[in-house]
Amino acid sequence: MKNGIKVFAPASIGNIGVGFDILGCALDKPGDEIVVALTDAHEGLRITRITGGKLPMEPEKNTAGFAALKLLEHLGESKRGIDMEIHKKMPFGSGLGSSAASAAGAVLVINELLKNPLSKRSLLPFAVLGESIASGAMHADNVAPSLLGGIILARNSSDVHRLHTPKGLYATVIYPKINILTKDARNLLSPTVGLKQMVQQTSNLAGFIVGLYNSDFDLIRRSLQDVVIEPQRAQLIPHFYAVQEAVLKVNGVLGCSISGSGPSIFALSQNTLAAAEAGIVMQQIFNTHKIENQLFISPINQEGAILL
């Protein structure tokens, strides 16, 4: 697209095990690119091109398109002629926050195109609306880190808090190439949680956050255990427990669980060496079982979505 404005929005790890729907962190790569340009050729928003995957071209059915429409409506700019291109540079249905990245990129690029009428943070509710098309629910655990960067506690789409990232914290994510739709992975969850699990999970979430602030890797390691969601979703991911068991044996690995709604599996480590070793261990297991996979190793991205 000629004269377009382009943004990059990164992948993210939703839930980080202990914070279902409320915790997430951004990765450096992979990520999606969204390009927009003003046009006099028509009124309103049009998606003119999508590369890297088959997604709806109708803006109201597309996570990036819907997020952009909602933002434009809020700004009273619904009639503005805009062409949008979406370049998917990561797999969707992967648990890497792909739909969230497109929604985050879309709101940032529209805001840039219109000369930044809103702050980056106040774009979040529109991106959350966009992502809800793919997920079937409103949660900001992927959208907030993809837009804002860092490790984020998102109580809801307007009450979001960046948590401290300890020096050395690294993420390893493996995507075994099977498709899980977030909607399906949500529908299988029990609507209730037992009292015992509730106590364990809240103490793990609290311990994890205190561990981040104090750079206390031992506390993070003890706390990074999901006793509520992981046991319900693990069956969707072939060899999940074998991968987790092997990864947790690596010196310097702090925890290992399901990234977002899966099938990707993440590990957090206290240094790059451990992160790389965790990646080797993960790949070995999927390769042995002839399951095609993709590996990503990244520090916690502190920028979120950026103008290119």
Closest to ligand HSE by CB, 125 vs 252, is: 125
Asked whether position 142 contacts ligand HSE by CB under 6 A, the answer is yes
Sign, Cα dihedral of 52, 57, 59, 62: negative
Which residue in 32, 141, 226, 230 binds ligand HSE (CB under 6 A)? 141
Which residue in 6, 87, 88, 139 binds ligand HSE (CB under 6 A)? 139
In the complex, least distance from residue 247 CB atom to ligand HSE, rounded to whole angstroms: 20
What the block records as the tokens of 189 is 């969850």
**Is 182 labeled as catalytic in the residue annotation?**
yes
What does the alpha-carbon distance between residue 241 and residue 232 come to, in Å, rounded to a whole number?
A: 12
In the complex, least distance from residue 139 CB atom to ligand HSE, rounded to whole angstroms: 5
Count of C-beta atoms within a 10 Å radius of residue 3: 8
**Is 277 labeled as catalytic in the residue annotation?**
no
Q: Residue ranges of the alpha helices (H) in 20-157?
A: 63-74, 98-113, 124-135, 143-148
Which stretch in 34-42, 75-83, 137-145, 216-224 sits in contact with ligand HSE by CB under 6 A? Answer: 137-145
What the block records as the tokens of 54 is 């088959």
Strands (E), 150-243: 151-156, 159-163, 170-176
Asked whether position 62 contacts ligand HSE by CB under 6 A, the answer is no
Asked whether position 269 contacts ligand HSE by CB under 6 A, the answer is no
Asked whether position 15 contacts ligand HSE by CB under 6 A, the answer is yes
CA gyration radius, the chain: 19
Which residue in 17, 260, 263, 304 binds ligand HSE (CB under 6 A)? 260
